[in-house]
């Protein structure tokens, strides 16, 4: 499984992020341009994930996104786990949208 730091992911020009957290988590804090598909719905909604680009997968601290990354790779997609999830993203000072925004 490939992984990348939040800083390295954020620096990419063509970053496409799949957020696999639950809706209530996303409502609290999210990346503005991320596509949200909860991990439990990923199999049924696989057609919503692009096959023509690298998919960077994000969750809260990295566990669910690692599971999703392994699954996506098994389906033939180019998937990369974002280490540390949105917690590491926030701690790195990278932009997020909070529920109050």
- 52 catalytic residue (yes or no): no
Beta bridge partners of 19: 36, 58
Catalytic residue among 34, 39, 57, 59: 59
Name 23's Cβ contacts closer than 8 Å, sequence gap at least 6. 36, 38
Q: What is the DSSP letter of 20?
A: -
CA distance 89 to 58: 9
Strands 55-58 and 79-82: parallel
52 within 8 A of 40, measured Cβ to Cβ: no
Please list the active-site residues: 59
């Amino acid at each position: 499984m490939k992984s990348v730091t939040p800083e390295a992911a954020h620096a990419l020009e063509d970053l496409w992020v799949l957020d696999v957290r639950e809706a209530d988590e996303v409502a609290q804090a999210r990346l503005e341009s991320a596509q949200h598909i909860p991990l439990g719905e990923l199999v049924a909604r696989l057609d919503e994930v692009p096959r023509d680009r690298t998919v960077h997968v994000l969750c809260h601290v990295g566990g669910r996104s690692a599971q999703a990354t392994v699954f996506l790779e098994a389906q033939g997609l180019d998937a990369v786990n974002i280490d540390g999830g949105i917690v590491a993203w926030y701690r790195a000072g990278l932009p997020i949208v909070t529920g109050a925004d």
